[in-house]
Structure 1
Amino acid sequence: MDRRITIGGLGPGIHIYNARHLDKQPSLSMQDYTIITGITDAGVAAEVKRWLARHLPDCHPVKVVQSAGIPDYQQIMEIPLSELESLDRFDDLTLVIIHYPTDNFVRANLRPLVEVMARLRGENGCPWDKKQSHQTLKPYLIEETYEVLEAIDKGDMHSLCEELGDLLLQIVFHAQIASEKDLFNIDDVIRTIVEKMVRRHPHVFGSTEVNSASEVLVNWEKIKQEEKAQKPDRQRSLLDSIPRQLPALLQAERVQSKVARVGFDWPDYRGALDKLREEMSELEQVLAGGSYDEQKSELGDLLFAAVNVARLNKIDAEDALRQTLDKFKRRFTYIEQKATKTNRDLALVPLEEMDRWWEEAKKLEES
């Protein structure tokens, strides 16, 4: 083996696997070079390809060395991974070389985190981690997502880095639970999203031409519909892919954006603004004498119309409401501080006085 590597011109720091023992390898090592030996026939090559496909896209280039180290017989060729089993010749000295470029950067390796999680869930692991399921982890996934959003809103890149790590942990956690049931593992998660991104960006990875971001979105939706057509039992509507668990304002924006991509939309925000006024009038009518269900329905229509106005003006309704909440909290905190400074129980302060303090807080912000 050392003789073959030297002939191949490869340096130290490589990983070598035997093709017949790949099932004992948890993953592909992210070293500069990985060599797989013993590819004696097309059947073994097919198994090697299937194993590598868990970690690499089909288009990833691999080097095949036939009759490795034998003068006058050695042949080296580079082919896409997808063609590995289609070679016309194999022998006892056929091997595959997988190269990871390290052009002035260090490749991040997810494997240590995967191994930590596997140990936490293992026989001698953490009782709490071992007890968790996909369902019990849902609140933590939501919490970590919102902590990422908070770090972004604050512009705190140090916190963002940390919070993204916490969010990544949740993804690895779910993948580990699934792998224990032989459903999928983290490599399947990564491979699936890589394939999806390549498939949905034919203007980058293929020959499709686009002239604007809007054309990209049209192509994206078209490709998604083609994907859905291959899985008719899973999705029957354009809107089925929008999770009901999304916050209501965000879900409304997603619904409106989805249908807009197929032409079901106002020409501009003015039509949506007229609709907002109409919904406001209808709400006033039912508030004056309608039932609770009617009032609730009309209020929902009003909120939906407001999101439409925001969307057509490229305003994130969820973010706008969150910004208003932050503003309200700041001003109310000012009122609390004024009451504390005067040694008064806030609940006993007249509304008129609290209104004055509110206006003070508003002027301080504006100044």
Structure 2
Amino acid sequence: MARLCTKVFAMTEHGERYRVKCLSCGYEKLVSDLLSISLCPRCGSVLGVNHSNNVFRVDLMGRGVWRYSSLLPSIPERISLGEGLTPISKFGSVWIKNERFNPTGSYADRASAVIISYIKSCGWSLFTSLYERDFTKSLVRYAQSQNMQCRVVALGMNFMDIDDILFLASKNIEVSFNIDNEEKPFVRYANPLTIEGLKTIAFEIYESGVSAERIVVPSETGLLALSILKGLNELRESGIDINYEIVAVSLKNSSPSYLAGVRDVKVVEIGDGEAYEALKNVISKGFNTKPLSALSIYVAENFGKAVAVLTMGFKTLSTRSSNVKRMIIEVLLQEKRPLTAYEIWKTKPVYTLRAVYKALKSMELANEICFDVVSKGMRKTKVYKLC
């Protein structure tokens, strides 16, 4: 039985909650449920939420992507696991926006935060999601943080990443291979809420103030490139003068389907041989990432004055970083109680406090350490413990 969101978050003058607009052809439609519609019925591209009054304002008290709530849908429940605010660092001649530092190590966490917030605000505790690599793992993680149940529908085992299969099995997630029997609410990767979450990458690049002319994005479907373009357009509509060119990188003969006919995104296709050499080059510089992410660095270096978005990448740990991690484990074993980063450093100040913070962040992302958030005086802080 189909279930639509019946709770009112925001109403238009026509009694509908949201106006969606195709990011390619401009088709518009009023909808009452942002998960009930996915692709444009006119051109097949993706639909985004059309905000009537774009005002860019940073909410310093907002967690994760919700620091940009002025340009996000009006949703009462705002779930965050600390996604966003990922680092931008200079690497050679380019800037790298490293999305590896999201809770599950993927840029998809930005989308999951908005989607799960919407689902919870609707009062749903059970939903179905169409399998998508990286996205599904992120969505399940966010759902389980709110005690929600997520069912997964996949086109077949051969379409699934082995790591994702192992993850879903370990979490006892129900997986079906009959897409015709999906239950509502049904979440597809390409939906207006995904775009709302992913566009916050553009806001963070603007906030960082880096000097660049282009944003280079790895693109299989083009959804991420369109999301960042939407974010930039909303900044311009807010009166902010920015002029980044969006460059979408893909492998030859696999052009991003959602970018067909989009004039504001430059598509660069790389052949297999060149792509392999680019991947070797990036790995030699200390990065362990997926091929398309590696290509974004490669293309950004060729263009110059660019920000490369690394969707699933990270710089490999140095020997010194490994030593800091060992020291942290030794202190926690010795003290036998949860400690703040400062307390860990104070117990054994062999390395700098900054190095301890950096190692703890890396250990969090790799699930090598656990933490709780506790109140200390008038503020909240993390205390770390061995899992």
Q: TM-score, normalised by structure 2?
A: 0.21
Q: If each structure's strand is expressed as a fraction of its own residues, which one has the higher value? A: 2
The structure with the larger Rg is 1
Q: TM-score, normalised by structure 1?
A: 0.21
Q: Identify the structure with bigger relative contact order (alpha carbons < 8 Å, sequence gap 6+).
A: 2
Q: If each structure's helix is expressed as a fraction of its own residues, which one has the higher value? A: 1
